[in-house]
Chains A and B, each alone.
Chain A
């Protein structure tokens, strides 16, 4: 089914400067009981955002009004752990369209792409510069350009290229998904089944 098309995004960014952000932090298991894809954003980073009495923890960046934007910036090894796509849905549902880190867990990266959330991998040095830029000015804007495969800190003009395979890039730009592709090659799949029988 068609997803949002993605070309470029200029936005502020929300920093979660923590390494090894695992999927149980992104969306704790007890919130996986829904049977639709919507609504998970309310519980994004639930146990870091709220205390035991369900009161918001003001210093957590998602609760801090000085931060906003459609770009989430996380520390190294983002999305490790479970295969729950709900983690990518929660980030998307909370309004993010890009997630930046210096290293993503494999399954999370695939799930993000299938959700329409663009994972952008930058060097550790550049990631630090992004965090510094937000720290210096929470209103700082960043450009994610999928066509050119670049991420730019607009305040300084510093940019870095990121990798994405050509197929997935085309899918994101055109709003295609893998299931459309697979349904279109059903004949090939049937022929494959016959060939190995």
Chain B
């Protein structure tokens, strides 16, 4: 019997297996940020052990940093302390840091791929659940807790039970103006916010292979939102082309050797998965979430489910969710007034996302009732956006450009959506209070976000193109 892509990579990284227990898994690349690493550094220092392989860890501050006036001292004292602590820890332990004003700084999951740090066949971890993003390159990448960050710092390994494997196939071509974000929101709406728990997902089929690398990252990024530990896509020419020439990509003869090795990274045709799901790309339309978990999504042109359309066991939590959102069962989605538009995050803060928004809003103005924030995923994305004229276009349309960081995706800094306000957001979570206490989040693609910014209400972007 053949092996899955996941098995091939996993098995090549098992240092030791423990009977009736987890495997000791070797980690190729470890990404850290200011929020989930300080206690891990504190832990190894308390134990008196050094960082085992400092060259395999890369750091950048992202979660907590302001997105305006980044050249000034951070005003929030707690945030400043956390960011300073990251700098100190990296200096003390010899870890590469892309600090707040470094040209490579950005959201950790945007930085890895843009630098060519993320490569096929690797194991990659970070104390952040959206580490699954890197699976777009055919790597096993997943989020870990701080105790595990400490394990990686101390030994370059973690202890992990092997997850089950799920294959999600989407055949056919996506309709025009249906994006990677719509594709993944559609899948999560089908299998629910917990349907992937216990699994690692491989995405296969033409709907995924036809996506750009940025689109594949958007898909893999949200694997965790169905409960899956991560998701990956077999690398192909598009993958190699994306990596080639980037700062940490192999060069010269090493490049040819690497590509030859990467070409072996696919699931064998007779590989066995624990679960297989198949969808048809032609059924997918622009999507939006209406509730308080990412599984509560629907086509924008449809309506919020009616009570009799859902199982009795789910009605109580559904009604709680509707109360929080200020919506009613059965409501039409199009036409709902919106207050904020947020474009950014590790899900949709890459250059392709900013291009999509700029192309849509060019020559248009945002609606008066909308506050629109654009937060590039990294300094490199920001630089490209300036050079390509995207920033000028967006500012002319009334959007506010911010500096790179996680920003309003999780509202650790000052970028908060006020209580009771509605935000159409290109981020990944619509949990209660995620974008600020009392905030109401509707997840969507950058294209939908652009259309909402211009019309001032929820709309299928195809109706205004």
- Are B42 and A36 interface neighbours, CB within 8 A? yes
8 Å CB contact of A189 from B15, B85, B150: B15
**Which of B212-220, B278-286, B351-359, B433-441 contacts its partner?**
B433-441
Partner among B22, B412, B429 whose Cβ is within 8 Å of the Cβ of A30: B412
A106 within 8 A of B: yes
Complex partner residue of B49 from A81, A88, A183, CB under 8 angstroms: A183
User: At the interface, yes or no: A83 with Cβ under 8 Å from chain B?
Assistant: yes
Q: Counting CB contacts under 8 A, is A52 at the interface?
A: yes
Q: CA of A85 to CA of B24 in the docked complex: distance in angstroms?
A: 20
- Tell whether, in the assembled complex, residue B194 and residue A179 are in contact, meaning their CB atoms are under 8 Å apart: no
Query: In A176-197, which residues have CB < 8 Å from any B CB?
Result: 177-179, 181-183, 185-186, 188-189, 192-193, 196
Point out the residues of chain B lying under 8 angstroms from A144, CB to CB.
none
Q: Are A177 and B147 in contact (CB under 8 A)?
A: yes
**Is B204 located at the chain interface by the 8 A CB criterion?**
no
A152 sits at the interface (CB 8 A): no
Does A25 contact B431, Cβ atoms closer than 8 Å? Answer: yes
Q: Which residues of B contact A37 (CB under 8 A)?
A: 39, 146
Q: In angstroms, how far is the closest chain B Cβ from the Cβ of A6? A: 16
Query: Please, how many angstroms separate the alpha-carbon atoms of A26 and B229 in the complex?
Result: 20
> Of all chain B residues, which has the CB nearest A165?
B21
> Could you give, for residues 69-86 of chain B, a 1 whenever the CB lies within 8 Å of some chain A CB and a 0 otherwise?
000000010110110010
Interface string of B271-300 (1 = CB under 8 A from A): 000000000000000000000110000000
Q: Which residue of A lies closest to B419 (CB)?
A: A52
Cβ of B297 to closest chain A Cβ, rounded Å: 14
Q: Residue A29 at the B interface, CB < 8 A? A: yes
CB distance from A128 to the nearest CB of B (A): 11
Q: Which of B1-51 contact A (CB under 8 A)?
A: 12, 15-16, 18-22, 24, 26, 35-36, 38-39, 42-43, 46-47, 49
Q: Is the interface of B mostly helix, strand, loop or mixed?
A: loop
Within 8 Å by CB of B159, from A80, A181, A188, lies A181
Q: Known: A167-B22, A189-B26. Contact between A35 and B39, CB under 8 A?
A: yes
In the complex the two chains form, is A80's CB within 8 Å of B39's CB? Answer: no
B395 within 8 A of A: no
A33 touches B82 (CB 8 A): yes
- What is the CB-to-nearest-CB distance from A125 to chain B, in angstroms, rounded to a whole number? 12
Q: Please determine whether B20 and A166 come into contact, CB atoms closer than 8 angstroms.
A: yes
CB neighbours (8 Å) of B36 from chain A are 83-86
- In the complex, the answer to whether B317 meets A82 with C-beta atoms within 8 Å is no
Asked if A82 and B148 sit within 8 Å, CB to CB, the answer is no
A-B contact pairs, 27 of them (CB 8 A): A1-B43, A18-B317, A24-B429, A24-B431, A29-B434, A33-B412, A35-B38, A35-B39, A35-B42, A47-B432, A80-B293, A83-B127, A83-B144, A84-B35, A84-B146, A85-B39, A85-B145, A106-B197, A107-B143, A111-B146, A166-B21, A167-B18, A167-B19, A183-B47, A185-B24, A188-B15, A189-B15
Q: Told that A83-B143, A177-B147, A182-B24 touch, could you supply 16 new A-B pairs with CB distance under 8 A?
A: A19-B317, A20-B193, A22-B431, A29-B411, A33-B76, A33-B412, A35-B82, A77-B194, A83-B127, A85-B39, A105-B227, A179-B147, A179-B155, A181-B159, A188-B16, A189-B15
Task: Report, nearest first, the 7 A-B pairs whose CB atoms are least far apart.
Answer: A167-B21, A85-B145, A83-B143, A114-B147, A35-B38, A111-B145, A33-B78
| B positions within 8 Å CB-CB of A | 12, 15-16, 18-22, 24, 26, 35-36, 38-39, 42-43, 46-47, 49, 52, 63-64, 76, 78-79, 81-82, 85, 127-129, 131, 143-148, 150-151, 154-161, 163, 193-194, 197-198, 224, 227, 229, 292-293, 316-317, 320, 410-412, 419, 429, 431-434, 437-438
